[in-house]
Chains A and B, each alone.
Chain A
Amino acid sequence: MSAAAPELQVLAQDSHLVEALRAGDERAFLGLVRNLHAAMIRFARGFLHSHATAEDVVQDTWAVVLEDIDRFEGRSTLRSWIFGILANLARTRATRDGRAIPLSALGPEQDEPAVDPAEFLSPTHPRWAGHWAKWPEPWPEEQLLSRETLAHVRDAIDRLPEGQRAVIQLRDVEGWSSQEVCESLGLSEINQRVLLHRARSRVRREIARHVERRNP
């Protein structure tokens, strides 16, 4: 048998943490805040685009968490429950401030190829239709991880449509499992994968453009 899924390990740690929070353990609360607060601000920023408003909404989220922790049933991980609250509050706030984001915006939007079709040989090519016209360039690791390229990655993520941004941020930036992301954002597994695919593809195109400009 395989080892317990990461999800189950998180759930087991959560139950101790939740007990400590309910008992008023300040260190447990501070630990949770240290783990999640910066990620919550990053997440809220994507909906709100003002740091001050994002901080407001995150503080409101903590208030709801503290209010409702006694009712938390452990059906999802603690952090996916918290980010679910945060996503709702951030969306509500964005709507109130005129940055209306309909819930449907979290669903996949229209189809878009992962790679520009011009990068492939034409469908009429006698032998290699649909194959690379020219192979992609390998990315030198030190360049990919440079401060400058990472800033481009961050910008590319920030410019994504809401649903794609929310998914890629939780999956790739924060390192969550697909199950937690689905729980948090109320997405089906399939929609989550479609959003992740579009998001990663767009960000990859941005990185490729950036890296290739540097290495003509």
Chain B
Amino acid sequence: MSRALPADLDCIVAVEQVTDYLEGALPLEARTEFEQHLVTCPGCLIYLRQVRAQVAASGKLGEAQPLAEDVTRKLLEMFHASRGG
């Protein structure tokens, strides 16, 4: 096994791996290389944090809304009709 330092990942390549990294889909070697790059590259670390923050912010758009009364009534009618009563 060679002990030479691995060539550093280019940022333009690293940004394309962010989703696979967050999904846990990078093979071990690529994952190590990616994490190694983050240690030395503040730009890519900021980028990764932006994507994580974006995912959290997107979750704010999914909050439940109260149901309109006529919708509830209609769906309940359908429910009871489907259950044979």
Tell me if B57 and A114 are in contact (CB < 8 A).
no
Tell me if B53 and A139 are in contact (CB < 8 A).
yes
Instruction: Choose one: B43, B55, B79; the contact of A135 (CB below 8 Å).
Output: B43
Question: When chains A and B are docked, how far (Å) is the Cα of A132 from the Cα of B48?
Answer: 14
| A97 contacts partner chain B, Cβ-Cβ < 8 Å | no
Q: Specify which chain B residues have a CB less than 8 angstroms from the CB of A135 in the assembled complex.
A: 42-43, 46
Q: How many chain A residues touch B (Cβ–Cβ < 8 Å)?
A: 55
Tell me if B55 and A200 are in contact (CB < 8 A).
yes
Knowing A63-B78, A66-B82, A172-B55 are in contact, say whether A136-B47 is a contact too (CB < 8 A): yes
Interface string of A123-163 (1 = CB under 8 A from B): 00000011110011111010011000110011001000000
Question: When chains A and B are docked, how far (Å) is the Cα of A144 from the Cα of B25?
Answer: 27
Q: Specify which chain B residues have a CB less than 8 angstroms from the CB of A85 in the assembled complex.
A: none
Tell me if A173 and B59 are in contact (CB < 8 A).
yes
Q: How many chain B residues touch A (Cβ–Cβ < 8 Å)?
A: 43
In the complex formed, the residue of A with least CB distance to B76 is A26
| A6 contacts partner chain B, Cβ-Cβ < 8 Å | no
Question: When chains A and B are docked, how far (Å) is the Cα of A66 from the Cα of B55?
Answer: 33
| A33 contacts partner chain B, Cβ-Cβ < 8 Å | yes
Question: When chains A and B are docked, how far (Å) is the Cα of A38 from the Cα of B7?
Answer: 49
Residues from 32 to 46 in A contacting B, C-beta threshold 8 Å:
33-35, 37-39, 42
Instruction: Choose one: B11, B41, B72; the contact of A30 (CB below 8 Å).
Output: B72
| A208 contacts partner chain B, Cβ-Cβ < 8 Å | yes
Tell me if A145 and B60 are in contact (CB < 8 A).
yes
Tell me if A197 and B19 are in contact (CB < 8 A).
yes
Residues from 157 to 177 in A contacting B, C-beta threshold 8 Å:
157, 168, 172-175
Knowing A33-B72, A37-B67, A115-B15 are in contact, say whether A204-B10 is a contact too (CB < 8 A): no
Tell me if A144 and B53 are in contact (CB < 8 A).
yes
Tell me if A200 and B60 are in contact (CB < 8 A).
no
Instruction: Choose one: A115, A131, A175; the contact of B59 (CB below 8 Å).
Output: A175
Q: Chain A interface (Cβ within 8 Å of chain B)? A: 24, 26, 29-30, 33-35, 37-39, 42, 55, 59, 62-63, 66-67, 113-115, 117, 120, 129-132, 135-139, 141, 144-145, 149-150, 153-154, 157, 168, 172-175, 178, 189, 193, 196-197, 200-201, 203-204, 207-208
23 A-B pairs with C-beta separation under 8 A: A24-B80, A26-B79, A34-B67, A38-B65, A62-B75, A66-B82, A66-B83, A67-B82, A120-B12, A130-B12, A131-B12, A135-B46, A136-B47, A136-B50, A141-B53, A149-B57, A150-B61, A157-B58, A173-B59, A178-B23, A189-B25, A200-B51, A204-B54
Chain A to chain B: the 9 pairs with minimum beta-carbon distance, closest first: A130-B10, A135-B43, A197-B19, A66-B82, A172-B58, A132-B43, A24-B83, A173-B62, A130-B12
